[in-house]
Amino acid sequence: MKAGFGTMDRLAEAAKREGELNVIALPREWVNYGEVIDTFADKYDIKVNELEPTASSKRELDAAAQLKPDVFDLTMDVAVSAADRFARYQVQGWQDLPDHVKEPSGAWYAAYGGYMSIGYDPRAVKPPASFADLLGPGYKVALDGDPLRSASAFGGVMAASMRSGTPQPQQGVELFAKLKQAGRLTDLAKANVVIAWDHLNARRSADHADTWKVTIPRDAALGGYHVQAINKAAPHPAAARLWQEFLFSDEGQNLLQKGYARPVRGEAMLMKGTLDGEQAAKLPKAPGPPVLMTIPQADAAKAYLRKEWSKKVG
């Protein structure tokens, strides 16, 4: 164990003495965070204060001085840009985390990921094999928000832009411009197709199996991770570290998978026999390893969308 707490037992004791944990930007329906939070609170008798559940990653950091969260759940690009604001800490399962999704000193580290997917109503449309198929007749398409503000919607545009494993933003913008011109880019309430992270579409499918299906296009296996970090100024430093240990434990990782996320320790847990195989089998079938955008690729794509999206799509 790091940060002067010695053992897990001593860390848990110190966290219990603190008695509280401040989390931010964790909607209870997002990757099963409601059950994750409740299980942690009951397990360690710690009150969890849920601050601004719908905050964006940028908002988490902007509000940190005022709201004083102990921990952050962030998109990787935001975490990379703010690494100096995080306390260094390596969880017990550190060696199970792939090197490309963790900062070597422990500033931030991915907890779960997913693929960008197409959810669709099989009663209304044929199963789309690619994003290009959405230009065919009958598809009424929605993104999960505004790609200039929502990481999920931005990921949708980038998935549609994939060519031979490389994002080409102009291709994605062009597809949505054509949908807009055809009157088939709509809002979530009217759509029979929703482009979103696979855990969101999979959860909807689990609740409405006959009316909602999920596919990850073979030519657009775009993935993304959410990473965890501890606030350097955490008011409850022991509880913050205990939270991370719980999230990255077998129990925590399986609870995230129950929310249709793909746990970062999943491969190691599968080898050890600790992964919930029944739940793993319910995840949408992936066409291969995820393609992860580099920070320069993401920055360039965001700059392109800021310039072109409103003009071409609106």
**Alpha carbons 14 and 144: distance in angstroms, whole number:** 40
Strand 86-87, strand 262-263: pairing: unpaired
Residue 210 identity: D
pLDDT in the model for residue 314: 84
- CATH class (in words) of the domain with range 8-113+223-281: alpha beta
Distance between CA atoms of residues 140 and 128, nearest Å? 12
* Nearest alpha carbon to residue 120 among 222, 172, 195: 195
Domain boundaries, the chain: 8-113+223-281, 116-222+287-313
Q: What digits encode the pLDDT tens for the residues 9-19?
A: 999 999 999 99
In one-letter notation, the amino acid at residue 243 is W
Contacts of 207 (CB under 8 A, 6+ apart): none
pLDDT for 1 equals 46
User: 8-113+223-281 and 116-222+287-313 share one CATH topology?
Assistant: yes
H or E segment to which residue 243 belongs: helix 237-248
Q: Which CATH number fits domain 116-222+287-313: 3.40.190.10, 3.40.50.150, 3.40.50.850, 3.90.850.10?
A: 3.40.190.10
Task: Write out pLDDT tens, residues 89-132.
Answer: 999 999 999 999 999 999 999 999 999 999 999 999 999 999 99
Around Cβ 180, how many Cβ atoms within 10 Å? 15
Instruction: Check if the beta carbon of residue 42 is closer than 8 Å to that of residue 251.
Output: no
pLDDT band at 4 (very low <50, low <70, confident <90, very high): low
- Residues above pLDDT 70, as percent of the chain: 99
Residue with tokens 């240990």: 245
DSSP state of 85: G
